[in-house]
Chains A and B, each alone.
Chain A
């Protein structure tokens, strides 16, 4: 099967939020095959490459097989946290959008 580069949002829904200076992004696969692609392609390296110097700390990824979702937890990701940050998006609600644009490689069969 042919490989293809697609943005994450092609295969997943997304929502993000905050707790202090920790930002979490939940990516919800649009189906079973998409969940496999998400688990394979979304790595701490990809996430660090996405947020660059807006992400100061470590990244942990948890799988949620029951929801076909992955939970990404990023430390030091909100410029100090809601009350201290200079950013417009004080609570990281839109942080997921930047990640949703990141390109990943999937098999064409993982798109349908």
Chain B
């Protein structure tokens, strides 16, 4: 049966660069994909691009390609590469990679550049004028007008169509912006296996979406961040990235190289199949909808898991008519301060410090929009779900306290932090650790919504060095 080997190359920014290089060198791959974008990265990239048209892409792409392109050349330029590291500026990113290829004496290379996923804000107004409702997907509210004057950026999570077109035109490397994490992989299955966006392929595309999900977080399905951490080893400190051997019928074997650490086992994949999924019967991606309740996982050897069909139902459903659109807006500033209390009676001191902070905010007339008080080492991760406090005899010898403020202005955030966060040591028994607090950060908030597919003017350009 026809098959293709697809490797994971990156998830987020930064990621282990050696993971990608190991897959390229030792993974016997036909395709490799790089996802560099977290939920908010595009807003940051767009902000950079607005200030400087030479920026706005993920800088990491360049050092990564500096190491990867020589491997690609040595492998007879066999495997194809796909990246969303172009961020808000895929064209310049592609130019920089082409310049780099020339410096490295790589020779001929064809780069497909996908643009159009970043929308001007006027497009939002235009669609609203035509009667389109930008309903907030998370809250169900139609209240975009409350944020319109604070909007910073608009970007659409796009699918694999242009990736496949680029491959059809023999692109070796595809660079785009907000290509959805999953689509970076779907293109790699659909192109070589001849799957189309037609009824007879819906089950297989569904299976591909599942496997794309398994690969898109790189080492996360190959033994990092795992319940099995005690039995997983990284002998050389190099986590492995997953590789999918996808067959024409949509069944697949997920594996990793022997040269890397980590583990691929049905549980490490299962951990990922339940990760960041909502309704598992409707895992909605630009290229289709996967029914994750129809997926079967089987260990078939060391670091080898077969991913196939569990029931009689289709693993997929037709792709949605609308695409996800993220609107980023300004939402004030966050400041924080962390200090460490020295025992004894760390909890009693922490409570006294909290009381001091609250009174001092009042005393100075400071009114942060929100404040969060956490005990690091006790409840900073779980909040009210933390266990009951121990008796004074069983207390830890020290305890971190962290206070965070959200304010409308940077000045107020600064004042809350310095006057109340930093100086709260004054209420403690022993002078505690003084460190530099993290920088005050602007809040870019997101309004997730939908946009009709046909309203997103995507463009593919092929740049070629002969």
Contacts and interface: CB of A to CB of B under 8 A. Distances in A.
Contacts of A60: 279
Nearest to B381: A94
A83 interface: yes
Contact of A52 (B273, B281, B385): B385
A15 B274 contact: yes
B274 A67 contact: yes
Interface residues of B, number: 53
Contacts of B385: 50-52, 54, 98-99, 101-102
Contact of A87 (B138, B270, B277, B383): B383
Interface in A61-111: 62, 64-67, 69, 71, 73, 75, 79-84, 86-89, 93-95, 97-99, 101-102
Contact of A86 (B274, B292, B331, B406): B406
B267 interface: yes
Interface in A30-79: 50-54, 60, 62, 64-67, 69, 71, 73, 75, 79
A64 B294 CA distance: 9
Interface in A16-33: 16-22, 24, 26-28
A19 B270 CA distance: 19
Contact of B384 (A27, A51, A71): A51
A98 B386 contact: yes
Contacts of A15: 225, 227, 271-272, 274-275
A26 B138 contact: no
Interface in B281-307: 281, 292-297
Interface in B198-246: 225, 227
Contacts of A14: 227
A53 B38 CA distance: 27
Interface residues of A, number: 47
A80 B331 CA distance: 11
B383 A51 contact: yes
Interface string B155-183: 00000000000000000000000000000
B382 interface: yes
B188 interface: no
B15 to A, nearest CB: 15
B448 interface: yes
A88 B402 CA distance: 9
B276 A18 contact: yes
Contacts of A98: 381-383, 385-386
Given A52-B384, A64-B280, A88-B402, A26 B274 contact: yes
Given A83-B443, A86-B371, A87-B383, A67 B270 contact: yes
Q: Which 8 A-B pairs have the closest CB atoms?
A: A26-B274, A98-B385, A52-B384, A98-B382, A86-B372, A17-B276, A86-B404, A13-B227
